[in-house]
Structure 1
Amino acid sequence: MGMLTAARLRRAISGTRRPDSSYDAEAGQSLVRVVLTVVVAAYAMIGNLLELVDETADLVFQIYMPVFMTVTCLLFAAIRLWPGVYHWRRIFCMVLDFGTLTLLMTLGGPFMAPMASLLLWVTVGFGMRYGTRYLVGATVAALVSLMLIAVFSPFWRAQPYLVATFVLTSLIVPFYANLLLADTREAYRSADAANLAKSRFLAQASHDLRQPIHAISLFTNCLREAGLAPSERQMVENIEHSLQSVRRMFRSLLDIATLDSGGVVPRMQAVPLGAILRDVVTQHQEAARRAGVELRLVETGLTVESDPGLLTVMLQNLVSNAVKYAPGARVLIGCRRRGPGIDVLVIDRGIGVAPEHQPHLFEEFYRVQPPGRDVEGVGLGLAIVQRMAQLISAGVELRSVPGRGTTVALTGLCVTEPPPAPSRPDGRPRSNPPQSLLQGLRVLLIEDDPAVLLSTQMLMERWGCTVHAHQQPPEQVPPCDMIVADFDLNGPLTGGDAIAIARAALGAPIPAIVITAHDEARVRERLGDPGLPILPKPMRPAELRALMLSLRLARGG
C-alpha cells in the first residue's frame, strides 16, 4: 500500500505516466496546483511578516492570493467532476499559472526570485503531462513571462545576465525533456508490443498443445475403464498423473496470457462456496494421496458474490501449492468471517517459506525450491491468484513461518443470498442424476481434430451414448438429443455456427455444449449466447459427463 501511494504521489508531481495508462494527468496537475498555492501563500505571508516586500506588492498579494486560491480549488473540483480532455481548460490553466508567476516575480523583487524554479517546473510539467505541443506552448509562455518580468521589474531589469540564464534554461531544459519524453514513449511502445506478442504466443501455443493433451487424457480415461490388469492400470494412472501436471502448467500459461491481454471480465453472481470448495478438494485428492497429504475441508453453507470461474481457478492454485509444498503434512481448507465479508483460508503444516522469499512469492515465474526436492510448476500460481483477486475486488494475504507451515487467505469475499435451487416441473428440487441417464442419448459430435474426435466418441460410447461424429458440420443433420461441438473447427464456421445450423435443420433448440482451447471469455463474446455452456480444454471426462447429465435432465429426458 505504501509503495502504491508513493507511485501515485510521484506521478502527480512529475506528470509521468505510461501512454496507455488510465491515470488522469490533469487531475494530478490540479492537485499539485492546490498544494503549491498553499505553499506560495505561506511564503508570501512570511515575506509580509518579515517586511521583505514593499507595501504595494504586499497589498496586491493580499488581494490576489485568496482569489487565486478560490479559482484553483474550483478548477480542482471541476476537473474531478468533469474529467476528460478539454483543451480550453488546459490553456486557461496555463495562462493562470504563468500569469500568477509573472505577477509574483514582478512585484516581489528579490524575495520572489525563487519562483523562477516554479516557472521551469510548470513549463516542463505541461509537456510531460500533455505532450510536445503543450511543451512548446508552455515554453513560449515562459519566455513571454521572463520578458515581461525583465521589462517591468526593477530588480530583474538590473540582472540582465540572470535573466539571460533563465531564458536559456527555459529553452534548453524543455528541449532536452522532450527528447527524453520521446525516447520513454518509444520504449513503452516497444515494451507493450513485446508483451502483446508474448501473450499471443502463449495463447496460441497453449491452444495448439492443449489439443493432443486433451486427446491423450480422454484415451487414458477409456483405458482405465477397459478392464486392465493391476500393473497396467497403474501405468495408466501414472500417465494420467503426468498429464495432470502438464494440464496445470498450460492452464497457468493461458491464464497469465489472458490476464496480460485484458481479456478477463468477471461475471459476478451468487456462488455456493461449499460446492466450489468440495469440487476443488475432489480434484486434488489423488495428488494429495501421492504426496501423503491429509486434505481436510471444513464444510460451509455460505454463498458469496463472485465469478465462479475465477474463484475456482484461484482456489485450485492455492490448494495445489499447499499440496506441493507440504508433502506428508496436513492441509486444511475452510472459511472465516471477517467483518461483513468472509475469507477462504488454505492452511498447510509444511516446511513454510523463508522470510527472504516471501516478498517475491506473488511475482511471475518466481519459484521456491525446497532443499533436495524438485517441485513441479512454472511459478505463476500466486501471481494469477493475486491478479484475479483484484478483478473481483478481493485480496490475498500470506503468512508463513519456516518449519511450521503457511496460511494463504483469499479475503474480502462478500456474503450474499443463495440462488434458488433448480426445480422439476412439479416444483420438487432435482437430485443428482445417475450416470445411466446417458444410456441411449443421441449425440452429434463435431470436432476437427481426428484424435480428439475419436477419443471423445469412444468415451461417450462407453457412457452408453449413440454418437454421430463429424469433423465439420454435416450436410444432412442426423436426429440427435444433444450437440457437442469444438469452437475452432479450422474453417469459416465455428462451433457456434455448427450448433445454429443443426438446430435450424432439426427445428428445435437442441441442448448443446461448446468445447474450446481458447480463452473462454472471448469465445463467450463471439458466441453471443450467454446460456450456451462452455468447457475448456483439456477437461476432465467427469466434467463433460456431469454437464451432459444436467442438460439432459433439464430437458426432461
Structure 2
Amino acid sequence: MTARETGGFAPFRRLRAAARRVFGLGETDDYDAERTQGIIRVVLLLVFDAYTIPVALTSGQPAPAVTLYCAHALLYIPVSWLFLLIIRRWPGHYVSRRLLFMANDTALMTFAMALGGAPALPVYLFLLWAVVGHGLRFGPNYLAAAAGATLISLLITTLLNDYWQANPYLAATLMMTTLVAPSYAYVLLKRVRGAYDAALEANLAKSRFLAQASHDLRQPIHAISLFTACLRDAGLGREERQMVENIDRSLQSVSRLFRSLLDISTLDSGRVTPRPEPVAIGALIDDVVRQNSEAAQWAGVAIQAVPTRLHVQADPALLTTMLQNIVANALKYAAGRPMLIGCRRRGGRLAVEVHDRGDGIAAEHLPKLFDEFYQVRERGDKDVEGVGLGLSIVRRLSLLMGLTVSLRSVEGRGTAVVIGGLRIVAPPPLAERRAAARPASAMDGLTVLLVEDDEDVLDATAALLEKWGCVVHAGTAPPERNVPCDILITDFDLGARTTGTDCIERVRRLAGRRIPAIVMTGHDENRVREDLGDPDIPILSKPVRPAELRSVMMAERLKAQAAASGLPPTDRAPVSRP
C-alpha cells in the first residue's frame, strides 16, 4: 500500500482519521473551508482558555471583571461547538454567518487583551491567526474585513488597558503589523486566485477537448465495430476470419482508450453522481469476466472468479468500471499468467480483490501508480497500449463512492489490487431475482425503429440487427408518422437541434404508448441521463459492443413482455463502461 493511497505520513494520517471520527466527517467529504475553520476554532479555543484564564485570575483586575471574563471564555466553548453543528447542519456559503462568527472570535480576544495587560500579549497571535485564517479560507474580502476588525480590537484594547496606554510604541507596532502582514497576504491571495482560475480554465478546456475528441472519434470506431460484427457471420474462410479477429482486437484496444478518455473528462466535469443499489457482487464479477473473456484469450490469461452470493450497496455501473479497469491492467501487464478475482470480508465490510501472477512492480513506482497518465516504463520494455488513466479512474471513482482502493505488489510474484469498504446488504426480494434471472427470448421478429444521423453507423447497426432476425425501420431523423415497432434505438445527437430525448417523446406520442427505448451516445452518460429525465431508459456508450447491445435489447423486451403479462418487471441490466 502506497503513501499516496493511505493519505501520507502515518502519524498525520492517524490524527486526521481521529479528527474525522470526533467531528463526524466522512472519508470522502469534500474540503469545506467553513467547516475546517469551525473545527480549528474548537481546538484552539481550548488552548486559548488554558492560557488566558490563569492570566486573568492573576492580573490583579477587579473580581467582577475577572469573573465575567472567565464565564464568557468558558461559555464560548459550547458556543463554538454550536457553531460547528450549525455549519454541519446547514453547509454552504453564508456571508452573515461568517461575519457573525468572526465578530464573536474577535470580541473574545479583545476582552482577553483588554483585561490581561502584558501577560495577555500572546493573545495577539490568536488574533492574527484569525485574520490570516479567514483570508486564506474565505478569500481576500474576508481578509480585509478581519484586518479591519482586528484594528478596531487593538484600538479598544489601547483605550481600556493601562499597560497598552503606557507603551504606545507597542500598540503602534501591533497595529502596523496588522496592516502590513494582511496587506501582503491580500496581494498574494489575489495572485494565487488568479493563477488558480487560469489553471482551472485550462483544466476545463482540456476536459472539453478530451470529451469532444472522444465523441467525434468514437462514431467511426462504433461503425467499424458493427461492420466487423456483421463480417463474423458472413461465411468467411479461416484466413479472412482471422483478419477480422485482428481488426476486432485492434478496435477493442482503441475502444478502451476512448472510454478512458471519456471517463476522465466526465469525472473532471463533476457531473458523476453515484446511484447505489443492492448489487449481486458475484454476478457483477462474472459479467466482467465474460466481457473480458475474448481479451483474456488474446492475452493468454486464464481468469478464475471465486463464487459468492453476497450483495453489496453500490452503483453497479461505476463499480463495474472500476473492476474493468483493474482487470484490463492485469491483462496488459501480466499476459500469459493466471488471474484470480474474489471477495473477502474485512472489518464487517466486503473487499473485491484482483490477483495476478505477473512480474510485479518495483517499489519506486508504487507511490505514482494512481497518478493520471503514469505508466511503469523500464529500459527495453515493449510498448503497452493505453495512456495510464485506468488506475487514476479507479481511485477517483472509489473516492466518489466512499470506497478504498489499495495495491500490493512483489517483484517476481505478482500484484493485487483491492477495492474495499463495500457495505454488505440483504439481497432483494426473491420475486425480483427470479424475474431478473428469467432466460432471454430470441430476437427473431423483433421490430426495431432505428434513428441515427450518421449514415455509416446507421447502415452498420441496421445490418447487424437484421442478422439477428430483427425487422428494422431505419432513418436519419425522427419519423413524421407512426412507425409500428417493438423497441426504439436512437442516437442522442440527431442534428437540426434534435436530440434522442425529442425522438423518444415524438415516437411515443405518435404511437400513443410507452415504447421501450435505448439511447446510444458518445457523450457523458450523466449529461444524457439528465436530459432524458427517465432513469429507466438504458444508455450505451459508443463504441457499443454488439453483445452489449443485444443483451440490453433482450432485457428491454423482457421488461415489456412482463409488463404486458402483469408479471414483475425485470431489472435493467447494468450498463458497464470498461
TM-score, reference length from structure 1: 0.89
Alignment correspondent of 1:438: 443
Alignment correspondent of 1:513: 518
Alignment correspondent of 2:536: 531
Q: Structure 2 CA distance, aligned partners of 1:531 and 1:327?
A: 38
Q: Structure 1 CA distance, aligned partners of 2:101 and 2:311?
A: 51
Offset of residue 314 of structure 1: 0.9
Aligned with 1:472 (options 462, 472, 477): 477
Alignment correspondent of 2:300: 292
Alignment correspondent of 2:569: none
Equivalent residue letter for 1:43: Y
Q: Structure 2 CA distance, aligned partners of 1:226 and 1:466?
A: 19
Equivalent residue letter for 1:105: M
Mapping for residues 115-514 of structure 1, pairs under 5 Å: 115-369=123-377, 371-420=380-429, 431-433=438-440, 437-514=442-519
Q: Structure 1 CA distance, aligned partners of 2:112 and 2:512?
A: 81
Offset of residue 490 of structure 1: 1.7
**Alignment CA distance shift 1:6-1:61 (3 Å):** farther
Offset of residue 489 of structure 1: 0.7
Alignment correspondent of 1:39: 47
Q: Structure 1 CA distance, aligned partners of 2:230 and 2:240?
A: 13
Mapping for residues 544-555 of structure 1, pairs under 5 Å: 544-555=549-560
1:444-495 Cα deviation digits (max 9, x unpaired):
1110001100101111111122211100112233322222111111222222
Q: Structure 2 CA distance, aligned partners of 1:102 and 1:126?
A: 17
Aligned residue pairs, count: 540
**Alignment CA distance shift 1:469-1:64 (3 Å):** same
Equivalent residue letter for 1:432: P
Offset of residue 260 of structure 1: 0.9
- Tell me if the contact between 2:55 and 2:116 (Cα under 8 Å) persists in the aligned partners: no
Q: Structure 1 CA distance, aligned partners of 2:201 and 2:75?
A: 45
Q: How large is the Cα RMSD of the aligned pairs? A: 2.8
Q: Structure 2 CA distance, aligned partners of 1:428 and 1:311?
A: 23
**Alignment CA distance shift 1:129-1:315 (3 Å):** closer
Alignment correspondent of 1:78: 83
**Alignment CA distance shift 1:31-1:298 (3 Å):** closer
- Tell me if the contact between 1:317 and 1:382 (Cα under 8 Å) persists in the aligned partners: yes
- Tell me if the contact between 1:57 and 1:108 (Cα under 8 Å) persists in the aligned partners: no
Offset of residue 432 of structure 1: 2.4
- Tell me if the contact between 2:228 and 2:244 (Cα under 8 Å) persists in the aligned partners: yes
- Tell me if the contact between 2:69 and 2:112 (Cα under 8 Å) persists in the aligned partners: no
Name stretches of at least 5 consecutive residues in structure 1 with no aligned partner: 13-20
SS in 2 for 1:376: coil
**Alignment CA distance shift 1:61-1:356 (3 Å):** farther
Q: Structure 2 CA distance, aligned partners of 1:192 and 1:357?
A: 28
Offset of residue 429 of structure 1: 8.2
- Tell me if the contact between 2:42 and 2:80 (Cα under 8 Å) persists in the aligned partners: no
Percent identity (aligned): 51
**Which sits farther off after the overlay, 146-155 or 231-240?**
146-155
SS in 2 for 1:327: coil
- Tell me if the contact between 1:30 and 1:72 (Cα under 8 Å) persists in the aligned partners: no
TM-score, reference length from structure 2: 0.86
Offset of residue 6 of structure 1: 5.6
Equivalent residue letter for 1:384: I
Q: Structure 1 CA distance, aligned partners of 2:303 and 2:545?
A: 21
- Tell me if the contact between 2:39 and 2:84 (Cα under 8 Å) persists in the aligned partners: no
Q: Structure 1 CA distance, aligned partners of 2:243 and 2:458?
A: 24
Offset of residue 85 of structure 1: 5.0
Q: Structure 1 CA distance, aligned partners of 2:46 and 2:430?
A: 61
Alignment correspondent of 1:15: none
- Tell me if the contact between 1:351 and 1:402 (Cα under 8 Å) persists in the aligned partners: yes
Offset of residue 415 of structure 1: 2.3
**Alignment CA distance shift 1:548-1:54 (3 Å):** closer
SS in 1 for 2:421: strand
SS in 2 for 1:514: strand
Equivalent residue letter for 1:414: R
**Alignment CA distance shift 1:29-1:446 (3 Å):** closer
Name stretches of at least 5 consecutive residues in structure 2 with no aligned partner: 1-5, 20-28, 565-578
SS in 1 for 2:363: coil
- Tell me if the contact between 2:334 and 2:357 (Cα under 8 Å) persists in the aligned partners: yes
Offset of residue 70 of structure 1: 1.2
**Alignment CA distance shift 1:48-1:454 (3 Å):** closer
